[in-house]
Amino acid sequence: MSASGQHAPPMRRGGSVIPPWVKQGGRAILTPLIQLAIALHLTPNAITVIGLATTILAATLVAFDVLLVGAAILAFGSLLDAVDGGLARAQGSSTPFGAFFDSTLDRSGEAIVFIGVGAWLLSTQPEPLLPMLALMVAMGGSLLVSYTHARAQGIGLSADVGLAPRTERLILVIVGVALAGFGWTIGLLGVLVILAALTVATVVQRIYHVWRLSQTPASTSKES
């Protein structure tokens, strides 16, 4: 969730596929986890590494068809992904490297999850071609969504818009894997198609949003 910066992320414009009450429920769980991390004297970077290790474990279980356990562990790893930023703010220990480290491992973890799902598709589906194409589009789109955000920040603009930022993508993947674990494989396949469409749409939204911002007098003078 890339929350290692000093400030909470701004409210995103452009809609969201996840209801607000789902996000609020997740935030309510974070407080005791942050307090536990403080009691254990864990640093934000340590939490980031633990979160990646948890994601790797979850992706491995998914790849070997242990879907429900994999989905549960992935959900826990996603919570840890938000704990590092909250812990950094609570301790007043936010650093530029921490934000960079968190974002880098976030992207790595997301790619690993897609690889785990792809391995499951190849080993279980009689005709994996179309699902794999949807997965590859979703994976490429997810990385481009993150890149457009980072690149916009690099030129002094904001790209916090779009239907499928990282939190939404993770929740959809967890739901899809859980549905497949309950025997509804079409649910996961549908999620991959939805993710492919949403990530491409989000990239287009962010490109258009940054273009509009770049046309304002303030942005033009800043770039010059």
Q: What is the pLDDT of residues 143-185, one digit of tens each?
A: 999 999 999 999 999 888 888 888 889 999 999 999 999 999 9
Amino acid 102 reads D
What are 180's two structure tokens? 């497949």
Q: Which residues pair with 161 in a beta bridge?
A: 13
Contacts of 101 (CB under 8 A, 6+ apart): 4, 45, 48
Neighbours of 96 (CB within 10 A): 10
Mapping DSSP to helix (H, G, I), strand (E, B) and coil, where does residue 161 land? Answer: strand
Q: What is the pTM of this model?
A: 0.82
Q: What is the pLDDT of residues 71-111, one digit of tens each?
A: 999 999 888 877 877 787 877 777 888 889 988 999 999 99
Q: Residue 19: which pLDDT band, with cuts at 50, 70 and 90?
A: low
Catalytic residues: 106
> Which residue would you say has higher pLDDT here, 26 or 122?
122
Domains and CATH numbers, the chain: 20-214 (1.20.120.1760)
The C-alpha angle 183, 188, 189, rounded to 5 degrees, equals 115
Angle, nearest 10°, between helix axes 166-181 and 96-124?
30
For the record, the structure tokens of 155 come out as 């030129």
Question: DSSP assignment, residue 11?
Answer: P
Task: Tell me the C-alpha to C-alpha distance, in Å, between residue 23 and each of 27, 73, 78.
Answer: 6, 18, 12
Residue of 117, 141, 121 whose CA lies nearest to 129: 121
